[in-house]
């Protein structure tokens, strides 16, 4: 981590939690996840609630759909760790790795339901260009997505446009961090 | 399988507002003015401006040197943490607010059309 406080500035309980996670998974807690544990009253606690609501709260979108939206937004923001993590969750939720790989390789040719495709196009434009207009929304509704589905997708888009930035900025490349860890500590 | 259909949007909007209030008005090491500037992505200068520009526009381009330059300008790590969070939430919030406006425009026009017919 580029900020020392994000390496060592945790409460004893959080350090114990990190140790438990590492013991169970055999990997250190990813930098992208660590940031929500630092001074959680400032950012982590409200952000975790918000993200859980968007990703697991009631919605007409399935968990797989929501995870693929998260992976797709992460791809546009060039957050490699988040793409792999949420792509893996989407593949598991769908029971279909190919669907996820196809979306991440080329949305234009990936086969999927029209409402999901149109929604991915819309949140892709919002992520790349920072804004959308009424015609973009009409296009998604014409493809069959409901008002509520659009609103739910915008919530996911917000969550991951925030998360990706905070996974990228304070942390050196997650895989570089992993490589450094494995070189220094080995596999025990 | 889709989860149970139930209106969630008001909840999410409230959670979003709660997050924004926490980072801008909550207890912190940087002033509310500094946090608001990072959130708005305006009124900043020097290495901090460079860092916040990158967080808002292309966070994958942030380097170790960008963070080191901000530290070198006398800003403490806890302040940097807060300002980077504010910049990220600020940029995502502008997108979110813009998109809700576009959605609102469509829904309002639709309702107006229904009433007119």
Q: Give ipTM to 2 decimals.
A: 0.88
pLDDT tens digits for range B17-54: 999 999 999 999 999 999 999 999 999 999 999 999 99
Residue B2's SS3 state is strand
* Average pLDDT score over residue span A100-120: 96
The predicted-structure confidence for B47-106, as pLDDT tens digits, reads as follows 999 999 999 999 999 998 999 999 999 999 999 999 999 999 999 999 999 999 999 999
Structure confidence at residue B4 (pLDDT): 44
Among residues B105, B39, B102, B74, which one has the least CA distance to residue A43? B39
Query: Where residue A174 falls among pLDDT bands split at 50, 70, 90?
Result: low
Sort out which chain A residues have CB atoms less than 8 A from B28's CB and list them: 42
> What per-residue confidence (pLDDT) applies to A32?
73
CA-to-CA distance for A145 and A123, rounded, in angstroms?
13
Task: Tell me which DSSP letter residue A26 carries.
Answer: S
The alpha-carbon gap from A20 to the nearest alpha carbon of chain B, in Å, equals 25
With CB atoms and an 8 Å threshold, state whether B99 touches A126.
yes
Integer CA distances (angstroms), A42 to A1, B7, B101, in order: 19, 28, 28
Using alpha carbons, list the distances in angstroms from residue A81 to A70, A163, A171, A184, B12.
12, 11, 11, 21, 25
From chain A, the residues in CB contact with B54 under 8 A are 169
- Closest of B73, B87, B104, B111 to residue A169, by C-alpha: B87
Q: A4 to chain B: which residues are within 8 Å by CB?
A: 77
Contact in structure between A43 and B22 (CB atoms under 8 Å): yes
Q: How many CB pairs under 8 A join A and B?
A: 176
- For residue B48, what are the CA distances in angstroms to A24, A123, B34, B71, B82? 39, 29, 11, 9, 12
- pLDDT class of A177 with cuts at 50, 70, 90: low
Residues of chain B with pLDDT > 70, as a percent, come to 87
What is the Cα gyration radius of chain A? Answer: 18
Residue A179's pLDDT band (boundaries 50, 70, 90)?
low
CB < 8 Å from B in window 69-128 of A: 77-79, 126-127
pLDDT band of A71, cuts 50, 70, 90: very high
Q: What sign results for the dihedral spanned by CA atoms A173, A175, A177, A180?
A: negative
Q: What is the mean pLDDT of chain A?
A: 90
Is A68 exposed, middle or buried (CB count within 10 Å of its CB: 0-12, 13-18, 19+)?
Answer: buried
**pLDDT one-digit tens code per residue, A144-165:** 999 999 999 999 999 999 999 9
pTM of structure: 0.89
């Amino acid at each position: 981590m580029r900020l020392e406080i994000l390496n060592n500035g945790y409460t004893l309980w959080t350090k114990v939690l990190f140790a438990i996670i590492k013991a169970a998974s055999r990997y250190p807690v990813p930098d992208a996840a660590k940031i929500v544990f630092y001074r959680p009253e400032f950012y982590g606690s409200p952000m975790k609630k918000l993200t859980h609501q968007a990703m697991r709260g009631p919605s007409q979108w399935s968990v797989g759909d929501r995870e693929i939206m998260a992976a797709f937004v992460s791809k546009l923001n060039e957050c490699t760790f988040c793409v792999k993590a949420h792509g893996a969750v989407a593949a598991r939720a769908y029971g279909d790795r190919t669907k996820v790989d196809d979306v991440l390789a080329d949305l234009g040719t990936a086969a999927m339901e029209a409402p999901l495709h149109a929604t991915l196009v819309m949140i892709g434009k919002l992520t790349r260009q920072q804004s959308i207009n009424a015609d973009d929304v009409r296009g998604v509704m014409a493809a069959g997505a409901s008002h509520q589905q659009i609103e739910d997708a915008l919530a996911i888009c917000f969550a991951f446009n925030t998360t990706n930035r905070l996974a990228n900025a304070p942390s050196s490349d997650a895989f570089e961090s992993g490589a450094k860890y494995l070189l220094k500590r080995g596999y025990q | 399988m889709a989860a149970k259909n139930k209106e969630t949007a008001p909840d999410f909007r409230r959670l979003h507002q709660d997050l924004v209030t926490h980072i801008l008005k909550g207890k912190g090491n940087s002033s509310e003015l500094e946090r608001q500037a990072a959130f708005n992505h305006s009124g900043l200068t020097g290495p901090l401006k460079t860092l916040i520009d990158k967080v808002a526009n292309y966070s994958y381009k942030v380097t170790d040197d960008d963070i080191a330059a901000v530290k070198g300008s006398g800003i403490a790590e806890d302040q940097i943490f807060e300002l980077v969070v504010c910049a990220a939430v600020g940029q995502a919030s502008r997108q979110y607010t813009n998109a809700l406006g576009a959605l609102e425009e469509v829904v309002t026009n639709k309702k107006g059309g229904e009433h007119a017919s």
